[in-house]
Structures are given as structure tokens and as C-alpha cells.
């Protein structure tokens, strides 16, 4: 019967024979000459617990590779943020559609109260807005988006003649370019966004001389346990104008309309998931500030809060029906309804 010897056993016997001098004592020089090749043999010997026979003993470390794009769903696990980032396809169409309706009492009315205004009589027209963009997916969670904005005033309060007339309050404008980067640092999921809007709406261009808006945003979110998620989003908008403030002020009547210079805000939010489809979430607009041409001092806007239910119909179809109100004055006649839909095609 043949005896089998492991690499570790053979290496040990070799050391005993080769590392002794004529007097039978260990020779340091011979010992050192065998350490490096011996370590290589031992490292890949199944008998000592390393190498292919026991790969589970040492956790694998996988470094990002530009040739092997990471699965974005392993990086971002929140259903709403996934849908906001768009499809995982190389090319796709990313749609963000929002309806800002009336109050809880009259959700389909043509007017909605400005619940962030100090005046109880201030109202705005209900409206539908959307962004339709072509998305190009890059490596490891990066994407480039080119799109346009859509606005429809009073979408449910117009006759067919009004909807089809030249002054139908339907507007396709404000093209934009956007770059998103989704990644993870430790247990914190993050999304960094840079965006430029090019102003094309008549009032923006002809009245206040706007050229565009640069928006930078940073989102942080972290899972707390298995169902609760806490997050924080920072947004900073900088308006760019074609003429200087001094020229605008010298234009007389036009200068009566204030020009926003910068708007910054921090929006904490929380979400509790009942299951993979339904979640309740709330967003706090407590820390939002802006300055205008008339007053360069940053002033805080009236805080607001939204509360709604997130419905993940699929990975690329997410609905968020919600209520919007001022925490200081919670009343049904000053609580507005809204609906946001993220729909990704292809």
C-alpha cells in the first residue's frame, strides 16, 4: 500500500535534512534560504487550512473594477431611491411625474392654498409637472440624463377647447442635463447629483432674465433594523441670470418681480416598510432658506411636512400619494394632496 505525503510533511522533512551541518546542528543560512519557498508551499497546501481547500476561512475582498460594473440594487436597497435613479438598462427613459392638487376637502379643485404663506387667502393653481429624460447608464452606479420639463396648469379643470387652444397652459420647456452617482460608504447609502436647467419659459427669460439653474444635491440614507430607514437630503440651487443685478434694477417695472439668487435646504425623512411593496414615509422641510435680489440675507421659508404611502409596484414603477401641510397649522382646508410617480421604461 502506497503512502501519501502532504506538501507540508515533505517540506518539514526537507528542512530537517538540509538545514543541519555536519555536526547535526541547525544552520541559520540554510534555514533562511528555505523560508520563502517553504511559505509558498505551505500557503497553498490543503493540509494547513489555506488555499483552495479552505477558502471560507478568510473572507474574500472584492475590489471595484471598471470592467465589472456593480449591481446598483446591491448598493441602493431603498425602493423609492432605486426608482428615482432609473432603470438598470444601459439606455432607458426615466419619468418623474407629480400632481400638486387641492386640499383634502377639494382634491380636484383648480386652486390650492399656499400652506407655507402667512396669509390664509393666498392660493395657487393646481398643476401637473413632469420630467422626461433619456438615461445612459455608466459604470458602478453612475448615470447621465438628458431631458425636458413638462407643466400643465389646472389639468382637471379645463374644457376641451381650453386644453387644445394655443394658450392652453401646457408647456414643454426647461431642458436639463443631470449626472447621478450612487454609492455606499460603510452602511450608509448615498446619491450625489449635479444638474443644470436651461431656462426657456417666457416669464423666466423675458421678465427676470434667467439663464438657468445649477442644482447640487446629496442624499444619505441608512437602514435601521430590517424595516426602518432614516435619511437626509441636502439641496442647493443657484440661479444664473443674463444680466447683472444693477442692470435688472434699472429696468423699472420688471424689477418689481423679485429674483431668487440661492435656495438651500436640508430635508430629513423617515420610512417604515411594511413589506417589499408598501411603506409609510414622511419628509420634513424644516430647514430651507433663500435669498433674493432685494435682500441678500438668507431667510428661512415656512417649514412644511409631507406624509404619504410609498407603493412599489415594480422595481421601476413607484407611486407616492401624500399629504402636504404646515406643522404649525394642521387643518384639512390647508392640507394639500399630491401624487408623485416614478416610471422607468426599458
Residue 346: CA count within 13 A, CB half-sphere: 11
Backbone angles phi, psi at 187, to 5 degrees: -100, 5
Query: How much is the pLDDT for 57?
Result: 43
Query: How much is the pLDDT for 70?
Result: 66
Query: How much is the pLDDT for 56?
Result: 43
CATH numeric code, 72-345 = 2.40.160.40
Residue-by-residue DSSP string for 59-76 = ------BTTBPPPHHHH-
**The model scores a pTM over 0.85:** no
Query: In this structure, how many other beta carbons lie within 10 angstroms of the beta carbon of residue 119?
Result: 8
Q: How far apart are CA 100 and CA 156, in angstroms?
A: 12
Q: Where are the alpha helices (DSSP H) in 76-165?
A: 79-85, 160-164
Query: How much is the pLDDT for 162?
Result: 67
Query: How much is the pLDDT for 82?
Result: 96
Task: Find residue 232's DSSP bridge partners.
Answer: 220, 268
Residue 279: CA count within 13 A, CB half-sphere: 23
Q: How far apart are CA 184 and CA 88, in angstroms?
A: 17
Query: How much is the pLDDT for 117?
Result: 82
Residue 48: CA count within 13 A, CB half-sphere: 17
Query: How much is the pLDDT for 31?
Result: 42
Query: How much is the pLDDT for 66?
Result: 43
- The stretches in the chain having pLDDT less than 50 are 2, 4-12, 14-15, 18-19, 21-22, 25-68
Query: How much is the pLDDT for 157?
Result: 80
Amino acid at each position: 500500500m502506497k503512502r501519501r505525503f502532504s506538501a507540508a510533511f515533505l517540506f518539514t522533512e526537507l528542512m530537517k535534512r538540509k538545514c543541519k551541518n555536519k555536526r547535526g546542528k541547525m544552520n541559520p543560512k540554510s534555514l533562511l534560504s528555505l523560508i520563502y519557498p517553504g511559505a509558498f508551499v505551505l500557503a497553498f497546501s490543503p493540509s494547513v487550512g489555506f488555499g483552495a481547500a479552505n477558502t471560507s476561512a478568510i473572507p474574500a475582498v472584492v475590489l471595484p473594477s471598471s470592467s465589472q460594473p456593480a449591481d446598483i440594487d446591491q448598493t441602493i436597497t431603498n425602493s423609492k431611491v432605486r426608482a428615482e435613479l432609473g432603470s438598470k438598462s444601459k439606455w432607458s427613459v426615466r419619468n418623474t411625474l407629480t400632481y400638486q392638487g387641492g386640499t383634502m376637502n377639494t382634491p380636484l379643485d383648480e386652486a390650492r392654498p399656499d400652506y407655507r404663506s402667512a396669509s390664509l387667502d393666498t392660493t395657487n393653481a393646481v398643476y401637473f409637472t413632469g420630467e422626461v429624460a433619456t438615461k445612459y447608464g455608466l459604470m458602478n452606479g453612475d448615470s447621465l440624463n438628458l431631458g425636458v420639463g413638462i407643466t400643465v396648469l389646472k389639468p382637471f379643470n379645463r374644457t376641451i377647447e381650453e386644453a387644445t387652444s394655443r394658450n392652453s397652459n401646457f408647456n414643454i420647456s426647461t431642458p436639463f442635463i443631470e449626472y447621478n452617482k450612487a454609492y455606499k460608504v460603510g452602511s450608509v447609502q448615498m446619491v450625489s447629483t449635479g444638474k443644470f436647467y436651461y431656462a426657456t419659459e417666457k416669464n423666466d427669460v423675458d421678465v427676470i432674465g434667467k439663464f438657468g439653474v445649477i442644482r447640487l444635491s446629496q442624499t444619505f440614507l441608512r437602514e435601521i433594523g430590517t424595516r426602518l430607514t432614516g435619511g437626509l437630503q441636502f439641496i442647493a440651487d443657484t440661479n444664473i441670470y443674463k444680466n447683472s443685478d444693477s442692470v435688472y434694477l434699472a429696468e423699472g417695472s420688471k424689477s418689481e418681480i423679485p429674483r431668487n439668487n440661492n435656495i438651500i435646504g436640508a430635508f430629513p425623512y423617515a420610512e417604515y416598510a411594511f413589506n417589499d411593496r408598501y411603506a409609510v414615509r414622511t419628509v420634513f422641510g424644516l430647514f430651507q432658506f433663500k435669498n433674493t435680489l432685494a435682500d441678500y440675507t438668507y431667510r428661512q421659508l415656512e417649514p412644511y411636512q409631507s406624509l404619504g404611502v410609498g407603493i412599489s409596484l415594480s422595481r421601476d414603477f413607484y407611486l407616492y400619494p401624500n399629504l402636504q401641510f404646515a406643522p404649525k397649522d394642521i387643518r384639512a382646508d390647508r392640507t394639500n394632496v399630491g401624487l408623485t410617480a416614478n416610471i422607468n421604461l426599458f
